[in-house]
Amino acid sequence: MERITQISESCLNASTPLRHLSPKERLREAKREELGLISKERQRELDVAKAKAKAKAKSKGTGADDGDRVLMGPPGLDYISLGLVDEEAIPKYELTVEDGRRLAKEYSRVLMRRHRARQTAESTLLTLKKEAIAALPEQLQAAAMVPDMTPFPANRYMATLTPPIEGYIEKVRDAAKKHSVKEKLR
């Protein structure tokens, strides 16, 4: 009976699943956190993590409070516990809500400047394209107006800034063959 009660309690108190964020979204979320803006989902994740840490510390019986220490890596493998970084060397930022809002506004202005610059560059390129097509003879203008939707050939290599190294691919293949036969690489 106790086991059934325990299972039902664990089902009722189950934590929410972790959100999947793309690298771009993760980077944006980190920038927003630096500015003092935290989304509701992230706040929920932080609250759950704090509750787990508090329960873990309570179960250990240690009174040491490491809640204000910032982890710089996975737990147990963070830079501080490995001794790579001194805890005192990490700067502590005291941001108020007003500072966070001010920084968020500034960040929004920077993003809008980038967006407007990109839009003007795209519109400039489109006008230049139209002018170039207008400068063509009549019989070529009709062909130039049709978009080229043929797929890029799969057997073509990506463009590089430097020429390929002669014999590099063969050396890599030979090394792979030697390694697959368990021979020593020399």
> What does the pLDDT look like over 94-108, one tens digit per residue?
888 899 899 999 999
Tokens standing for 11?
């089902």
Mean pLDDT estimate for the chain: 82
The confidence score (pLDDT) of residue 125 equals 97
At residue 23, what is the residue type?
P
Q: Looking at residues 47-63, what average pLDDT do you find? A: 74
pLDDT band at 181 (very low <50, low <70, confident <90, very high): low
69 DSSP assignment:
S
The confidence score (pLDDT) of residue 60 equals 65
Higher pLDDT among residues 80 and 172, named by residue: 172
The torsion of the CA quartet 17, 22, 24, 29, rounded to 10 degrees, works out to 0
Inform me whether the pLDDT recorded for 4 exceeds 70.
yes
64-75 per-position pLDDT tens digit = 445 566 666 677
Closest among 68, 93, 73 to 83, alpha carbons compared: 73
* Alpha-carbon span 106 to 111, nearest angstrom: 9
What Å distances lie between residue 35 and 16, 25, 70, 91, 125, CA to CA?
26, 15, 16, 15, 35
* Alpha-carbon span 110 to 119, nearest angstrom: 14
Q: Which helix (H) or strand (E) holds 3?
A: helix 2-12
Tokens standing for 150?
């043929």
- Which pTM was predicted? 0.36
Q: Looking at residues 117-136, what average pLDDT do you find? A: 96
Tokens standing for 43?
């706040």
Range with the poorest average pLDDT among 60-64, 149-153, 170-174? 60-64
* Alpha-carbon span 172 to 164, nearest angstrom: 13
Tokens standing for 88?
């005192």
The confidence score (pLDDT) of residue 77 equals 74
Q: Where are the alpha helices (DSSP H) in 61-151?
A: 79-82, 97-134, 138-145
